[in-house]
Structure formats: C-alpha cells, structure tokens
C-alpha cells in the first residue's frame, strides 16, 4: 500500500485499483469505502469491477457489493472517447 500511495503522489490511481489492494489485504471495509469513492468519482473502471474483475470475487456476495451493482451503469455513450480513470 505504501508503494501505491507513493504512485498517487504523481499520477492518477483509480480508486478501484486501491480497492483491489484492500481486498487482497482482506481489509474489506476499506475496500468498500474505496469502491464508493470510485462510484462518486464516476470511475469508468467500476463497470469492469462489478461485471467481471476476478480480484473482487471474494466480496461479490457481500450485501454492500450487491447494493453497488444496480447503481453502476455506463454514464457516457458507448463508442465515445470518454475519460478512463
């Protein structure tokens, strides 16, 4: 996590990436805080997370993840040059 925080000093790091790290560390509460931040930031990577990212398989049955699913929808027309991040 220290290395990830250091990268965030100079570059954008999606909250979904931070959440994945917290899932790997088994800090599930912090992972969900980061997923909520990703949602609030309208991070396009969140669509991938909820649909198929295997790093989040262990938390898919958590009610907080189930609550996130219906809220995550594309917010831009497909095929545009939307900002990824």
| The overall pTM is greater than 0.75 | yes
Cα torsion 34, 16, 47, 28: sign: negative
Residue 24 domain-assigned? yes
Residue 20 domain-assigned? yes
pLDDT in the model for residue 67: 92
Q: What is the pLDDT along the chain (85 residues), one digit of tens a residue?
A: 667 666 667 788 899 999 999 999 999 999 999 999 999 999 989 988 888 899 999 999 999 999 998 888 655 555 555 555 4
Residue 80 domain-assigned? no
pLDDT in the model for residue 8: 67
What's the full length of the chain, in residues?
85
Domain containing residue 31: 2-71
pLDDT in the model for residue 51: 85
- How far is residue 41's CA from residue 56's CA, in Å, rounded to a whole number? 19
Residue 76 domain-assigned? no
pLDDT in the model for residue 74: 58
């Amino acid at each position: 996590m220290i290395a990830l925080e250091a990268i965030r000093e100079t570059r954008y790091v999606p909250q979904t990436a931070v959440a994945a790290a917290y899932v790997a560390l088994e800090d599930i509460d912090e992972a969900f805080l980061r997923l909520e931040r990703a949602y609030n930031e309208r991070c396009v990577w969140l669509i991938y997370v909820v649909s198929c990212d295997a790093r989040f398989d262990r938390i898919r049955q958590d009610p907080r993840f189930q609550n996130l699913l219906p809220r995550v929808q594309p917010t831009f027309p497909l095929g545009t040059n939307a900002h990824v991040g």
